[in-house]
Amino acid sequence: MLSSPLFRPRRPQQQSLRQEYAEFLEQRIEEYKEQLSREDLLAIADEAVRELEMASEEQLVLTEVLVLEHVDRLITQRLDLPSFRKWRNRHVKLRHAQRDPSYWGMKSRDPVAKLAPRLDETHSALVLGEDATPAAMLLAACDWQVLFVDPTLAAVELVEKLAATEGLASRIQALVVQLGKWFPEARPSLVVFDPKVLSDLDAPSRVRMLDALKQMTSRGGIHCFLATQPSDDGSLAPAVVRAHYSDWATHHRSTEFPDCFLSTKP
């Protein structure tokens, strides 16, 4: 499994802490604005205009951009958002904790937990299904760009809310997708499956989805099935799912996670 060309020493993260801090401020400010009524937001804008006019010794042309920037500064003060230094100290500790699988209720020997810290963050991960949410969060905490898809709005909104709360929103995109009918354009190097997304599809749709995902996956990429619980008619027995990967290198399942298996694209 670790002989894949995708597995090599990690490079330093591409996004700086300054960029992450700016995204943190922007997210908190936008969340606050969404809670305000139009009248309250206009009142803050009026306050921003007054302060800018008073602070300027020379005649100042108040552009919309200038006013909006000062509105954001006023909101930052109201929310008492931390300085970069304070945020950085908390953020580094939080990110370290988030990279521990147990933070997300996963075991250290979980297949995704073993893969996440060794994967090259220049590649992207595709995660399907609500039960794979912890895997999506762990990968994002390890600096991966993650596309999460699920056929239900509730599951997508849950992931979006969790990502925002954990400061991972910039690394996770969540979409509602009717699996088996359409799929967003992607080129993942890791695909993680919640088995329920397969069991909810009829056989033709399941075949179309798996074939499409196999084709989309980059060479050397991996498909990881968290479990392959059989359905009532036996159509999702592990052997049946693995049969879709007869042209890929399927790795032996561990005794600790007997319902999981990995396949690598040649």
Query: 14 and 91 share a domain?
Result: yes
**Facing residues of 142 across strands?**
none
Count CA atoms closer than 13 A to 55's CA, side-chain side.
10
Give me the mean pLDDT over the 4-21 stretch. Answer: 57
With 60 as the cut, is the pLDDT of residue 58 above it? no
Strands 172-176 and 249-250: unpaired
pLDDT of residue 154: 93
With 70 as the cut, is the pLDDT of residue 24 above it? yes
What pLDDT, in 10s, does the model give residues 221-232?
Answer: 888 888 655 555
Domain tally, the chain: 2
Query: 23 and 139 share a domain?
Result: no
CB pairs under 8 A, 24+ apart, for 86-89? Answer: 87/21, 87/24, 88/17, 88/21
Q: Cα(42)–Cα(243) distance, rounded to whole angstroms?
A: 61
Domain residues for 11?
1-98
pLDDT of residue 218: 87
| Angle formed at CA 12 by CA 249 and CA 148, multiple of 5 degrees | 55
DSSP state of 160: H
How many angstroms separate the Cα of 26 from the Cα of each of 143, 157, 164, 169? 20, 19, 12, 11
Q: Cα(126)–Cα(13) distance, rounded to whole angstroms?
A: 19
174: closest CA among 153, 195, 190, 189? 153
Query: 79 and 114 share a domain?
Result: no
CATH number, domain containing residue 236: 3.40.50.150
Query: 93 and 111 share a domain?
Result: no
| Number of helical (H) and strand (E) elements in the chain, helices listed first | 10, 7
